[in-house]
Chains A and B, each alone.
Chain A
């Protein structure tokens, strides 16, 4: 016979050690009187023994740990240290920190991490199924979709008539911050536009690993557009986007 229906969850809680003392006492008293529940408890224990046996739990292959350590976006301590020039060894660091040279080095060091993440986020988004969480050509769906997911509201202008149809949006993260990613198409290419809150800073364009990146600031938001279209076209995208969103 099956266990008493009102005891079933409690029997599970008992073998999982999740009951408080009062419930433990109650279930144990019941089990001592009820043959069916005693058998059920044995069955639960038997199932547990089968699941806990060695070999049931999968162990990550060693190749996976190596793959993760080698992933370009994954700069654990070693990579971070390597980014500092060798002459910045800890012993010297204090003395040099006071110098102006140090300060002029600061922006590139910060930028390079963000630059790398922008490009790698773009590349990852191109894998099947990764591009958009909300998939629509309608700006009035994409914009509200971000509400409640991030604490700012990125502009989502319509640019289809200029050859940049809207494809959708998703959340991404760059440098530990949650960012909005708005996706546009250009012919068969994809433009990822990452938006996050940041103090206004200078506009800049560069090419990294063959991808064009253009960044600009507007109203306390930083925009970074990435694509494999020619840099000139990406700057055209920027101009259109700024014009349409203001």
Chain B
């Protein structure tokens, strides 16, 4: 009797400990998960649904998590959820990238981080710049987009990017190089692009 009861409490403690660990290890990466989902889906509403779905899946599968990087593990789940969402969307309505949502996002960004320094003109310039860079990222094909977002915005190592995207590190390197070339072409003044010849990268 006593053993049953104490094992019950043991299990209960584990469940609570499990939830605590989830809070410590996984939930802090909510912003990263959202950022990744946002750049993969290119849709503010979809990205929220995807992240919620991913968090629920992650919570349920958390007991099985054995890896070294909780963040890479969560991002892999987010990525899978994005693919599910994207494939079902492909069957339904074609994707429209609306610029209006970008500027709305940018303005909410400004509201969240009020900066008393710059004049309204500076702010508008800055917002236009943010919109331009975000659009450039959204415009590059997905394998390159996810690699560059994970590397530059989420600071993942090559090994972690390889884990999230399921490709060898060599492929990660060439995708990053290709993504950077595309972004440079889009964002840097022509003079800085050399002769603009595309470089080969797989």
- Chain A residues packing against B (C-beta within 8 Å): 1-3, 5, 8-9, 11-13, 16, 18, 36, 39-40, 42-44, 46-48, 50-61, 63-65, 67-68, 71, 73-77, 80-81, 84, 93, 97-100, 102-103, 106, 117, 124, 128-130, 173-178
Please report whether the interface of chain B is mostly helix, strand, loop or mixed according to DSSP: helix
Q: Are B5 and A53 in contact (CB under 8 A)?
A: no
Which chain B residues lie closer than 8 Å to A3 at the CB level?
199
Q: Are B180 and A57 in contact (CB under 8 A)?
A: no
Count A/B pairs, Cβ under 8 Å: 183
Which chain B residues lie closer than 8 Å to A174 at the CB level?
60
Q: How far is the CB of A209 from chain B (nearest CB, A)?
A: 17
B96 at the A interface (CB under 8 A)? no
Size of interface on B: residues with Cβ below 8 Å to A: 79
- Chain B residues packing against A (C-beta within 8 Å): 1-2, 4-6, 8-9, 12, 15-16, 18-20, 22-23, 30-31, 33-35, 38-39, 47-48, 51-53, 55-57, 59-64, 84-85, 87-88, 91-92, 105-106, 109-110, 112-113, 126-127, 129-130, 133-134, 137, 148, 151-154, 157-158, 173-174, 176-177, 180, 183-184, 187-188, 192-195, 197, 199-201
Instruction: Give the nearest-CB partner of B113 in chain A.
Output: A54
Which chain A residues lie closer than 8 Å to B137 at the CB level?
51, 56
Q: Are B87 and A60 in contact (CB under 8 A)?
A: no
Q: Are A129 and B87 in contact (CB under 8 A)?
A: yes
User: Out of B4, B48, B127, B187, which one reaches A50, CB within 8 Å?
Assistant: B187
Most buried by A among B30, B55, B85, B106: B55
Q: Are B133 and A68 in contact (CB under 8 A)?
A: no
